[in-house]
Chains A and B, each alone.
Chain A
Amino acid sequence: MNNLIKNELTKIFHKKAIYIIAIITIIVGCLDYGIIKLSGSMNKLYENDTTMKYIEDSLSMYDLNNPNDASNYVEDKTMIDVYKATKNYSYESFEYYMLNDKGYEYLSCMNHEKYVTKNEEEYKKCEASYNQLLKDLKEKDWKYFVNQNKEMVEEQIKTTEASLKIATEETDKTLLESELKILNIRLQGINYSLERNIYPSNKTNYSFISMYEGLATEWESLEKDEKTYTDRNQLLNKRDVEKNFKEYNYIIENNIDYSGTFSAKNMMIAEFSGPILFVLVMIIFIAGSIVSDEYNKGTIKQLLLRPFSRTKILASKYISCLIVFLMYTIFYAVVCMIAYGLASGFSSLGEPVVVYDFVSASIVEMGLIPYLLLQFVSVLPVYLIILTLAFFISTFSGNTALSIMVPFMTYFISSIISGLASSMEVKMLKFFPTMCWNFNEYLFGGMPSFKYASLGTSIAITILTFLILFILSFILFKKKDIKNQ
């Protein structure tokens, strides 16, 4: 039996097509690398001299006496001013970020006072702030600005605490308490960014800090919301906020490195959260041709003449498909890791993954590889059913084209069906195999997005589908008459 498997693998690895698929994988991996690199400077690409010149030229067309036109004029003018101010700074620099953030605010104010309200005094104020900003940017580093912000928040906390002490009404108290909570969270975020050197810029994950604040505010109101949701989407949204807030909170409280959306770690997680098309292509190609190719070339006759039962011969082919599937998945993962690592740094790959577990209502911290494995296992039924389907059609029809096409169609139709299921809410679709085969949503106590789906039914249907295809393949192969050519 071992030697049968060895033979099958020898045959597979002597086929050119699998190397072509592997090479395409590497090329796409490199493309991914390029896209990540490019996406960082996408905005920069749009903001170039030509477009700015065009906008500047069209400014004269606005009628400043018309209030609508005036506000548009201010908007465009500010954009051009900011562009000119940031021209000498790189897109990823801290100065660029500050000029787009605070600088935009001041410039917008200046333009507004100058062209719309025509208030000389206010204009001067804004101009002074703006000049102060430019001066500070030249002389001070980013920590100065963040510390400034920190002092402000600390001041706010003090005053809120003071008012809480003298507050008598219960409603006022609760209001002040939640205000204090959010201020503390904001302070936490600032401290985190100072400690981790996450300076305000498009390169670091500074947006994460502000998202954390946003989530905190949202969760503060939702958590108190005791009502049971009748609308499923509202409930799903609540759970989403809960999950994200708890995860962010854990990262910041425990001072774990948060890697951004385009970090190697998070790209890997995104890539492995569902079935991977390239892996599907490979397994459909292998499983769809492993039996039918031998029928078509007549070599099946020589294979069946060896002193092994047909069951063993087919089993060795099935096991070989599984081996190639696992090997290729590992190869694919390594290619991705290298591409993402080269694009956004390898360090994030060593950081732990933080997940909120709904079952125990607590955070789970785990290594990237175990987490990816867990995700892989949750979508494994998709791969196995597609593989077994291709294998089954290959065995019973002997037609390679058919055994490659049908699994592909099944896979693509499956997404149409799940789209239909959630929009039309067809209850019976919970028994449809492709509605059951992906268990990713159930991880860590997650809720399925399809209203009628349940874990028990899905497991039963998945196992049943797999067994039917698997056992039928063997029964049909045992009875197969090798037709004359």
Chain B
Amino acid sequence: MEKVLEVKNLHKSFGSKKILEDVSFSLKEGEILGFIGPNGAGKTTTIKLILGLQSIDSGEVLINGYDTKKNFVQAISKVGAIVESPDLYMYLSGRKNLELIARLYKEVDKKRVEEVIKLVGLTNRIDDKVSKYSLGMRQRLGIAASLLNHPNLLILDEPTNGLDPEGIKELRDLLQKLVKKEKIGVLISSHNLAELESFCTNVCIIQNGVVIDSTSIAEIKKYDIPTYIIELDCVENIEKYIKETDNVSGNFIKVTCPKEEIAELIKKLVKAGYSLYEVKMLEMTLEDAFLKKTGGNVIE
């Protein structure tokens, strides 16, 4: 798979204040990279450096193999992005906004404009002024605008801001469809790890301008050992059967162990004459797993 984005050793400071230090990561076609960090970690600044909106102190950014410093026009021509918020001309209609952008690409025609309008489901309201749109609709129009030029790199900065759960689900479905169909790479930033769980194939975690972890979701999920809660009729002598790390509270016990072991435990408990009312597996979040992996590094 081709690398659509390569970020190498980015440094950036404003005055004496260091914003980014040695930030590197890369993104391939078909990947969705979650770029995660608390507010003020340097996510937006990194994205602005990638897009050439701010100057790079040192390091380089390659988009589809083009250096953004040397070949900005080629590098940027297959990029779609929303930075901070969908920046639209409020006094123009949704369609006019898209038409203005379409005019700046040779290969984008009227048909493509209609296509993206349909894709984000704005057909009914597209001729209204953007100032009359809700935040969610603006977000969708912003995504439509960023898809106009058939990008193979899509950069979305906090796209879930202002979206309701339904909207987030729609966005996820849309992105997954795009990634499969058009083979694009997506960089998506958020301060909320849990929210991105269902979106991403990879994550890159940044804090205070430094990348602290960059890995695949699968890798993190390795640390995903499930926890079970078992309800019993009584907990007398239960210590014999469980490990010291497990908890007992009331008639509940909380056990953390791989799948195979829990089956054995249940058998033992039944043999010993306990009555089991319920065995429930607790879902573990990406955030929990990440915390486990990094040993309790606080994200928010």
Which A residues lie within 8 Å of B54 (CB)? 481-482
The residue of chain A having its C-beta at the shortest distance from the C-beta of B104 within the complex is A306
Please judge, given known A-B contacts A481-B55, A482-B54, whether A308 and B104 are in contact too, CB under 8 Å.
yes
Instruction: Evaluate contact between B103 and A482: CB separation under 8 angstroms.
Output: no
* C-alpha spacing A3/B100, complex, angstroms: 9
Instruction: Evaluate contact between A485 and B91: CB separation under 8 angstroms.
Output: no
* In the assembled complex, B48 has its CB within 8 A of some CB on chain A: yes
Instruction: Evaluate contact between A298 and B103: CB separation under 8 angstroms.
Output: no
* In the assembled complex, B241 has its CB within 8 A of some CB on chain A: no
Instruction: Evaluate contact between A307 and B53: CB separation under 8 angstroms.
Output: no
* In the assembled complex, A138 has its CB within 8 A of some CB on chain B: no
Instruction: Evaluate contact between A10 and B72: CB separation under 8 angstroms.
Output: no
* In the assembled complex, A15 has its CB within 8 A of some CB on chain B: yes
* In the assembled complex, A7 has its CB within 8 A of some CB on chain B: yes
Instruction: Evaluate contact between A481 and B53: CB separation under 8 angstroms.
Output: yes
* In the assembled complex, A4 has its CB within 8 A of some CB on chain B: yes
Please judge, given known A-B contacts A10-B96, A15-B91, A299-B89, whether A307 and B44 are in contact too, CB under 8 Å.
no
Question: Which of the residues A298, A305, A307, A481 comes within 8 Å of B84, measured between beta carbons?
Answer: A298
Instruction: Evaluate contact between B103 and A484: CB separation under 8 angstroms.
Output: no
Give chain B nearest CB distance to A383 CB in angstroms.
27
Instruction: Evaluate contact between A301 and B96: CB separation under 8 angstroms.
Output: no
Residues 446-485 of chain A, each 1 if its beta carbon lies under 8 Å from chain B, else 0: 0000000000000000000000000000000001011011
* In the assembled complex, B193 has its CB within 8 A of some CB on chain A: no
Please judge, given known A-B contacts A7-B100, A301-B87, whether A307 and B105 are in contact too, CB under 8 Å.
yes
Residues 285-315 of chain A, each 1 if its beta carbon lies under 8 Å from chain B, else 0: 0000000000001111110111111000000
Give chain B nearest CB distance to A274 CB in angstroms.
34
* C-alpha spacing A443/B214, complex, angstroms: 72
* In the assembled complex, A6 has its CB within 8 A of some CB on chain B: yes
Give chain B nearest CB distance to A300 CB in angstroms.
8
Instruction: Evaluate contact between A304 and B52: CB separation under 8 angstroms.
Output: yes
* In the assembled complex, B176 has its CB within 8 A of some CB on chain A: no
Give chain B nearest CB distance to A309 CB in angstroms.
6
Instruction: Evaluate contact between A3 and B52: CB separation under 8 angstroms.
Output: no
Please judge, given known A-B contacts A7-B104, A307-B77, A307-B105, whether A301 and B84 are in contact too, CB under 8 Å.
yes
* In the assembled complex, B225 has its CB within 8 A of some CB on chain A: no
Which A residues lie within 8 Å of B89 (CB)? 11, 14, 297, 299
Which B residues lie within 8 Å of A298 (CB)? 84-85, 87
Which A residues lie within 8 Å of B73 (CB)? 307-309
Residues 103-134 of chain A, each 1 if its beta carbon lies under 8 Å from chain B, else 0: 00000000000000000000000000000000
* In the assembled complex, B156 has its CB within 8 A of some CB on chain A: no
* In the assembled complex, B137 has its CB within 8 A of some CB on chain A: no
* In the assembled complex, B229 has its CB within 8 A of some CB on chain A: no
* In the assembled complex, B90 has its CB within 8 A of some CB on chain A: yes
Which B residues lie within 8 Å of A308 (CB)? 73, 104
Which A residues lie within 8 Å of B45 (CB)? 484
The residue of chain B having its C-beta at the shortest distance from the C-beta of A15 within the complex is B91
Which A residues lie within 8 Å of B105 (CB)? 306-307
Residues 210-244 of chain B, each 1 if its beta carbon lies under 8 Å from chain A, else 0: 00000000000000000000000000000000000
* C-alpha spacing A421/B178, complex, angstroms: 69
Which B residues lie within 8 Å of A300 (CB)? 87
Instruction: Evaluate contact between B103 and A6: CB separation under 8 angstroms.
Output: yes
Give chain A nearest CB distance to B50 CB in angstroms.
11
Instruction: Evaluate contact between B100 and A10: CB separation under 8 angstroms.
Output: yes
Interface residues of B in 70-92 (CB under 8 A from A): 72-74, 76-77, 79, 81, 83-85, 87-92
* C-alpha spacing A350/B51, complex, angstroms: 58
* C-alpha spacing A265/B89, complex, angstroms: 43
* C-alpha spacing A305/B68, complex, angstroms: 11
* In the assembled complex, B62 has its CB within 8 A of some CB on chain A: no
* C-alpha spacing A359/B73, complex, angstroms: 54
Give chain A nearest CB distance to B39 CB in angstroms.
11
Which A residues lie within 8 Å of B61 (CB)? none
The residue of chain B having its C-beta at the shortest distance from the C-beta of A306 within the complex is B104
Which B residues lie within 8 Å of A6 (CB)? 103
Instruction: Evaluate contact between B103 and A3: CB separation under 8 angstroms.
Output: yes
* C-alpha spacing A7/B96, complex, angstroms: 10
Which B residues lie within 8 Å of A302 (CB)? 87-88, 101, 145
* C-alpha spacing A306/B73, complex, angstroms: 8
Q: Please list 18 pairs of residues, one from A and one from B, whose beta carbons are closer than 8 Å in the complex, sorted by A's number.
A: A4-B104, A10-B96, A11-B92, A14-B91, A14-B92, A297-B90, A301-B83, A301-B87, A304-B52, A305-B51, A305-B81, A307-B73, A307-B77, A481-B48, A481-B53, A481-B55, A484-B45, A485-B84
Query: B residues near A, CB below 8 A?
Result: 44-45, 48, 51-55, 72-74, 76-77, 79, 81, 83-85, 87-92, 96, 100-101, 103-105, 145
Query: A residues near B, CB below 8 A?
Result: 3-4, 6-7, 10-11, 14-16, 297-302, 304-309, 479, 481-482, 484-485
Going nearest first, the 6 A-B pairs with the smallest beta carbon separation are A307-B77, A482-B53, A481-B54, A298-B87, A3-B103, A299-B87
